[in-house]
A and B are shown apart, each in its own frame.
Chain A
Amino acid sequence: MADDSLVDIRDLHFHYDGRPVLQGIDMKIPRGKVVAIMGGSGCGKTTLLRCIGGQLKPTGGSVRLENHQVCKMSEAELYRLRRRMGMLFQFGALFTDLSVFDNVAFPLREHTDLSEEMIRDLVLMKLEAVGLRGAHALMPASLSGGMARRVALARAVALDPTLIMYDEPFTGLDPIALGVIGRLIRSLNDALGATSIMVTHDIQESLLIVDYIYFLNGGKVVAQGAPDEIRASSDPFVYQFVHAEPDGPVHFDYPAPTVLQDFLPGGAHARAA
């Protein structure tokens, strides 16, 4: 393991119901960097993130975080490790029965013995960092999608984690909220001296904020590089992804019989009817 790597993934395999999802992933996540994992839907990005967080046990290979083999840790060891991790879920996953303030205070109250006054100050500082100090009394139901994501981000960094993981942080956001979240991911990573792993589809925003990108397809790493290398890449997969081309190594259409077979009398369409 290189000295500057926080996460080292080697030959990682994961099967779900006998179907291979990850097939021999090798990946290094350097300390202090923001790394994006990209690829089409169903290519195994979120599964990989959950293997790193220890929520899924891989079928083979290893995930090493600092000096810990994540796959071999007991639940208690894993929970100790997770206190130094933060995770932003796709739609925030805020606790709907708690206010914005209590959501951000949740990890502090669960894992520290800090006084309520201290917790109040810390929560307001975290909310200030995401621009929502004034919204601390609101309930999650009254937040917009972008605001909910920012609150979830404040909660994810409440304990000043070493590793922050983002699962599709840009999904469903308008361009302004998307840009704000992107800048926050970068600035919080640098301010906290943390390392960030971001699973996303959004190539344009990612190219602006990340240090390195891995492309996954069919459960394998098919391309990787710094943003400038990715922009200049002639690799067909990367080119298709960066330029949003409908044709290329990734097929848009789900495999199906020919149109004639389906629509002629006696075809699958007629039989289904």
Chain B
Amino acid sequence: MPGPLELVRRLGSSVVDRVWRLGFATRFFFAILLHSGTALRRLSLTLREIYFSGVLSLLIIIVSGLFVGLVLGLQGYETLQRFGSTEALGVLVSLSLVRELGPVVAGLLFASRAGSSITAEIGLMKTTEQLKAMDMMAVNPIARVVAPRFWGGVISMPLLAAMFSAMGVFGGWLIGVVFIGVDDGAFWSQMQSSVDFRYDIMNGVIKSVVFGFAVSLIAVFEGYDSAPTAEGVSRAITRTVVTSAMTILALDFILTSFMFRGN
């Protein structure tokens, strides 16, 4: 059992280590911005990453969005029925999705599907000396490998969140209108009149963009900073998923408290 001094030393060491990593991640973020020219000039590099991060994540996003919408439809109908306002089901489903569930759940899924894959790929490139080889060939790995993956993630995330919300609304309509029998016109018209483009949809888009930046940065940083061993890459992947999930939920609270106050 370590003594109190040892516990204080360990705590201090852990805090210093985290602050150091945060500082390194910030410098890394600026290095990505500085070297983003290659990723933007050679668009094929970024398009390739949009395909890997975005297009290949579509299936999981569509299926998850549909199921979340189905559940929202069922739960929402049961609650609204108590108050005799089942025609508001469309509003409940759409606001829940575009404000919260769309960006947050899509962000969590994106972190597990694409974020972990980006970390693994960069981590393995580091382990097998591919990044060093690139550096020795006078090709900056941050410009050639990291920046395209970062921007691919940033661009994909809002599109995936939008797709998630759209599928969720479809799921809510399917269960509410087709299976339960809520009025079709009421479902869509209430949604149309209650969902505000600026306050609801745009704020949801802003959230998904912020989550895209956060998850993509965490994924590329963890891969680049991973220990060049099998265990190191495995730990980095775990950190990507856990840190991304925590970051998304914390950022969601912060953004929500600024965006939807009093509305």
Contacts and interface: CB of A to CB of B under 8 A. Distances in A.
Contacts of B140: 75, 79
Contacts of B129: 89-91, 93
A53 B129 CA distance: 15
B1 interface: no
A83 B136 contact: no
A80 interface: yes
Nearest to A158: B137
A83 B129 CA distance: 18
A174 interface: no
Contacts of B124: 96
B137 A96 contact: no
B135 A83 contact: no
A130 interface: no
A110 B249 CA distance: 40
B133 interface: yes
Interface string B219-241: 00000000000000000000000
B130 A79 contact: no
B8 interface: no
A79 B143 CA distance: 13
Contact of B137 (A78, A81, A90, A110): A110
Q: Which of A78, A93, A96 has the most CB of B within 10 A?
A: A93
A55 B135 contact: yes
A3 B178 CA distance: 87
A53 B136 CA distance: 7
A96 B129 CA distance: 11
Given A91-B128, A91-B129, A106 B136 contact: no
A142 to B, nearest CB: 16
A201 to B, nearest CB: 18
Contacts of A79: 138, 140
B137 A95 contact: no
Given A91-B128, A93-B128, A96-B128, A83 B138 contact: yes
Residue with the highest number of chain B CB atoms closer than 10 Å, among A55, A87, A90? A87
Contacts of B137: 82, 87, 106-107, 110
Contacts of B128: 91, 93, 96
B206 interface: no
Contacts of B139: 106-107, 110
B245 to A, nearest CB: 28
A87 B133 contact: yes
Interface in A123-164: 152
A105 to B, nearest CB: 12
Contacts of A107: 137, 139
A138 to B, nearest CB: 17
A93 B138 contact: no
Contact of A82 (B125, B130, B136): B136
A111 interface: yes
Nearest to B129: A93
Nearest to A95: B130
B135 A93 contact: no
A194 B132 CA distance: 22
Contacts of B144: 110
Contacts of B134: 95
B53 to A, nearest CB: 15
A79 B129 CA distance: 18
Interface in B137-165: 137-140, 144
Contacts of A93: 128-130, 132-133
Nearest to B131: A93
A85 B130 contact: no
Nearest to A82: B138
Contacts of A90: 129
B254 to A, nearest CB: 36
Interface string A4-36: 000000000000000000000000000000000
Contacts of A106: 137, 139
Nearest to B144: A110
A75 B135 CA distance: 10
Nearest to A110: B139
B132 to A, nearest CB: 7
Interface of B: 124-125, 128-130, 132-140, 144
Q: Which 4 A-B pairs have the closest CB atoms?
A: A93-B133, A82-B138, A93-B129, A79-B138
11 contacts: A55-B136, A80-B138, A81-B138, A82-B138, A85-B136, A89-B132, A89-B133, A90-B129, A95-B134, A110-B139, A110-B144
Given A53-B136, A96-B130, 14 more contacts: A79-B138, A87-B133, A87-B136, A89-B133, A93-B128, A93-B130, A93-B132, A94-B130, A95-B125, A95-B133, A95-B134, A107-B139, A110-B137, A152-B133
